[in-house]
Chains A and B, each alone.
Chain A
Amino acid sequence: MSGDENASADGETPETDGGEAVPDVGMPGPEPDERTSPQGRRNSQGIRIDPEVEAEHEPRRAVISAIVDDEPGVLSRVAGLVSRRQFNIESLTVGPTTVENHSRITMVVEEPDPGITQIERQMAKLKPVVSVGEIREDAVRTELVLLKVRGEEPEKVHAVTEMYDGETLDAGPRTITVQLTGDESRIDDALDAYRQFGIIEIARTGQTALARGDTPTAPGEKPGTAGEPTQPDTTTHR
């Protein structure tokens, strides 16, 4: 790389380069503040920006649906990926699909846009992941919650349950357990209403979701063709 004559390996102490004076310590050349500087800037997400404006993508909530091979360890591979790359995950559900040996993973994440794209692309690289993509905003989403409240006022509890189209699963002298389904905000509202009775325990599944109409939920899926395997999607990232 240097090609200087001091590369000659024959002499005693080699002569230093005749042209530029080589300092005893370090290397020659203009100091940092004597150099020209580029004008531009990038934000922390690596996107070029107007130096006057500090624009960054704000985090948003996204629902990601993946079809995966139903093999041992697949959930831990997905969960491990999400955690080691420090993606902010709200919930993750997994269950069977119409195709034998395939499961669907539905994941709610809160990330800026570049992060959401990263999650999809990193997941797509996992071998058991057949297909993965974000579900559009208008997708059908729902969540199931079980909650146990104090049973002192059974009529009032029942009324709230009716109001939110819930179902009473267990009613005893001390506790009442109900089941609610719905989108996240509706469930949050219901929980607020139950709070007056004293909530003892809650179990929430996290959101699961399907795309509306003929739109495939995960890329490559063919709605209405139950039993046919999903085709791996080779065009997603191109």
Chain B
Amino acid sequence: MTDRDEPHETTAADGAADAATDGGTTAAGSTAADEATEPPERADDGAISAPTTGAEAVVAALEAAGVDTAFGVQGGAIMPVYDALYGSSVGHVTMAHEQGAAHAADAYGVVAGEPGVCMATSGPGATNLVTGIADADMDSDAMLALTGQVPTEFVGNDAFQETDTVGVTTPITKHNYFAGDADEVGETVGEAFALSSVGRPGPTLVDLPKDVTLGDTDREVGAPEAPAGTEPVPEANEEYVAAAAEAIEAAERPLCLFGGGVIKGGASAEARRFARELGIPVTTTMPGIGSFPEDDDLCLSWAGMHGTGYANMAISHTDCLIAVGTRFDDRLTGGIETFAPDAEVIHVDIDPAEISKNVHADYPLVGDAATVLDQLTAAVSEAPDAADWRDQCTAWREEYPMTYATPDDEPLKPQFVVEAFDEATDDDTIVTTGVGQHQMWAAQFWTYTEPRTWVSSHGLGTMGYGLPAAVGARVAADNAGDEDRDVVCFDGDGSFLMTLQELSVAVRENLDITVAVLNNEYIGMVRQWQDAFFEGRHMASEYGWMPEFDKLAEAFGAKGIAVDDYGEVADAVTEALEYDGPAVIDFHVDPQENVYPMVPSGGDNAQFALTEDQL
């Protein structure tokens, strides 16, 4: 690996060697004898200047799109594409599992603000990506997946490692492509890349049959272009804007609800200006965390099932809800009958299909979040008279403080760990999580102030998202020159066990991440629900035995620390953050701790429970 033009992370060749020797599910499946190709001609920067094969056209398209890093796993049908990556300006991080590749690419995209790229071979490689693609789809994250496929003549014959990848991923992609020809594959990959971020973002996929990637072409590949007619109009209808502005002026209890679309649309600055100029209190959705600083007096943090009491009181009592870039997920709304029932709804979204899908929009404003927020700010001539309402929101904040008890005779509380990390790190720290109780505590007890610092699995709720996401987030920060930014992954013991093999990647690539396992030896959220709704029968949620994660981390070559008591927390946090490389702290936290407030599924947001007997 010394004769490369440019040293880069891990290249295709490393992965190829792994795949050929480990005989795993995605190991090389076909003979390479007839596949040997000459290395492509490259410009000074390593970019392929004139592709001669479909695979080179694929890589040339990634280069033309400015892709810095792809995440993937080698395998038989994708080998030609990996071979074309050899020496390319596109870096590659070989992941332990394709699911990890998809999550890493997803998180990379969240942090970098441009589509992440993941790669896998056909069959099991492609199906292992599915969870990560579905996750990106539910959270509207821009991502491009490239999958190998058996040669076209074998497609439909149940060939070795064949799966109908286009069929399997149609419901979970924005669009997917079956590459039919070496001349067009470069353009297709560019189109898929561009399409994933145009308008409402989402994952796209290109399935690459091996004969197409090995096939000859002399077609040059240009910059990525989204298909005609997909570029949305950024401005909302002026009449609707004017009507919405009047509604805002007349409102007595106005409230902003900023969703993930505010962050994806790069509209955090516009959102802050809008709310502050008009003095309108703000709630966010979970994906919208970071769109508005949580330490601002106007901010009530996030609403929904485990949102703050004050956010849920405000969203239940508002008479004018200005919702931006949110799809009104059931975890936010609770029962639709009782959601913001007194509110006229102004709904700003880039996707017309979200208008009145779950909650009727009285003022539908279809357009780009930043543009429409500026339109609204300009259209409102007089700020609403909301002083009493702001006082009410403040009163609710005092009535329902986000706090927790720390009795002497009970084990370490997980919330304390989250707060300790928040205190020890800067505002630009990136937090990733798995899914479950730990995710809720990480969202509740950390004060987020900047967009693209909260990286989590919201819509799909994928346990195991946190660690591979930390890998992707770290690479994105490093690529941007932000080596000093901290990346902290809060994980649960159950979540961590699902993808912890990605620690091998973090160690190999020397990625500076810190994993805080809030270990309660339970699938804690399920245990909490079992206590509340299933008379405490802990079926399949109780482990009773957990590996020693600190020792496991050491075995991977990472730093491992175990923490049991309050007094050990601060030092362990400092030690892990200062360690240059991946560190894992196994926090043995109170197994009985529950997440509150809580709105039961389909419940009334204003009736959130603060204790189990209120459920």
- Name A's B-contacting residues (CB within 8 A): 1-4, 6-14, 16-17, 20, 22-32, 35-48, 72-73, 76-77, 80, 84, 114, 117-118, 121-122, 124-127, 130, 232, 234, 236-238
Flag if A31 contacts B614 (CB, 8 Å).
yes
- Looking at B16-24, B210-218, B510-518, B605-613, the stretch in contact with chain A turns out to be B605-613
A40 and B309 CA atoms in complex are apart in Å by: 20
Inter-chain contacts of A38 with B (CB < 8 A)? 316-317, 338, 340-342, 606
B283: min CB distance to chain A, Å: 13
Given contacts A16-B405, A25-B612, contact A42 B360 (CB under 8 A): yes
Flag if A12 contacts B567 (CB, 8 Å).
yes
A106 and B403 CA atoms in complex are apart in Å by: 57
The total of interchain contacts (Cβ-Cβ below 8 angstroms) comes to: 193
A1 and B607 CA atoms in complex are apart in Å by: 21
A13 and B590 CA atoms in complex are apart in Å by: 14
A28 and B606 CA atoms in complex are apart in Å by: 15
Please give 20 more A-B residue pairs, beta carbons under 8 A apart, in addition to A42-B337, A125-B351. Answer: A1-B294, A2-B403, A2-B404, A7-B423, A12-B566, A13-B566, A23-B611, A27-B403, A27-B611, A28-B610, A30-B399, A32-B608, A37-B606, A38-B341, A39-B342, A41-B341, A42-B338, A48-B341, A73-B166, A234-B229
Would you call B228 an interface residue if the criterion is a C-beta within 8 Å of the partner chain's C-beta atoms? yes
- Main secondary structure on A side of the interface with B: loop
Inter-chain contacts of B358 with A (CB < 8 A)? 46
Q: CB < 8 Å: which of A11, A42, A232 contacts B228? A: A232
A232 and B231 CA atoms in complex are apart in Å by: 11
Nearest 3 A/B pairs, CB to CB: A26-B611, A40-B341, A237-B352
Inter-chain contacts of A236 with B (CB < 8 A)? 352
Inter-chain contacts of B222 with A (CB < 8 A)? none
Inter-chain contacts of B534 with A (CB < 8 A)? none
Flag if B401 contacts A44 (CB, 8 Å).
no
Would you call B509 an interface residue if the criterion is a C-beta within 8 Å of the partner chain's C-beta atoms? no
Inter-chain contacts of B567 with A (CB < 8 A)? 11-12
Flag if A27 contacts B352 (CB, 8 Å).
no
Flag if A28 contacts B339 (CB, 8 Å).
no
Flag if B444 contacts A1 (CB, 8 Å).
yes
A41 and B91 CA atoms in complex are apart in Å by: 54
Inter-chain contacts of B362 with A (CB < 8 A)? 48
A217 and B301 CA atoms in complex are apart in Å by: 47
Within 8 A of A (CB), among B345-385: 351-353, 355-360, 362, 366
Q: Quick one: which of A10, A35, A37, A236 has the most chain B CB within 10 A? A: A35
A209: min CB distance to chain B, Å: 23
| 14 examples of A-B residue contacts, CB within 8 angstroms | A6-B404, A7-B419, A25-B594, A27-B400, A27-B610, A27-B611, A28-B400, A28-B610, A30-B399, A38-B338, A72-B178, A117-B356, A127-B195, A232-B228
A28 and B352 CA atoms in complex are apart in Å by: 41
Would you call B555 an interface residue if the criterion is a C-beta within 8 Å of the partner chain's C-beta atoms? no
Q: CB < 8 Å: which of A1, A8, A17, A46 contacts B360? A: A46
Size bin of chain B's contact surface? 35 or more
Would you call B66 an interface residue if the criterion is a C-beta within 8 Å of the partner chain's C-beta atoms? no
Inter-chain contacts of B170 with A (CB < 8 A)? 73, 76-77, 80
Flag if A27 contacts B229 (CB, 8 Å).
no
Flag if A13 contacts B341 (CB, 8 Å).
no
Inter-chain contacts of B529 with A (CB < 8 A)? none
Task: Closest B residue to A128 by CB, please name it.
Answer: B175
Would you call B407 an interface residue if the criterion is a C-beta within 8 Å of the partner chain's C-beta atoms? yes
Inter-chain contacts of B351 with A (CB < 8 A)? 125
Flag if B596 contacts A27 (CB, 8 Å).
yes
Inter-chain contacts of A32 with B (CB < 8 A)? 606-609, 614
Task: Closest B residue to A31 by CB, please name it.
Answer: B614
Q: CB < 8 Å: which of B175, B295, B366, B399 contacts A29? A: B399
Flag if A9 contacts B175 (CB, 8 Å).
no
Given contacts A10-B570, A127-B230, contact A48 B338 (CB under 8 A): no
A57: min CB distance to chain B, Å: 11
A234 and B233 CA atoms in complex are apart in Å by: 8
Given contacts A45-B360, A118-B357, A121-B353, contact A27 B341 (CB under 8 A): no
A11 and B419 CA atoms in complex are apart in Å by: 13
Q: CB < 8 Å: which of A22, A37, A46, A127 contacts B403? A: A22
Flag if A124 contacts B353 (CB, 8 Å).
yes
B157: min CB distance to chain A, Å: 17
Flag if A44 contacts B336 (CB, 8 Å).
yes
Inter-chain contacts of A16 with B (CB < 8 A)? 403, 405-406
Task: Closest A residue to B204 by CB, please name it.
Answer: A127
Proximity bits, B153-172, A CB within 8 Å = 1, else 0 = 00000000000001100110
Inter-chain contacts of B569 with A (CB < 8 A)? 9
Inter-chain contacts of A2 with B (CB < 8 A)? 401-404, 415, 419, 445
Flag if B308 contacts A1 (CB, 8 Å).
yes
Flag if B401 contacts A7 (CB, 8 Å).
no
Would you call B446 an interface residue if the criterion is a C-beta within 8 Å of the partner chain's C-beta atoms? yes
Would you call B497 an interface residue if the criterion is a C-beta within 8 Å of the partner chain's C-beta atoms? no
Would you call B227 an interface residue if the criterion is a C-beta within 8 Å of the partner chain's C-beta atoms? yes
Inter-chain contacts of A237 with B (CB < 8 A)? 352, 355, 366
A33 and B458 CA atoms in complex are apart in Å by: 30
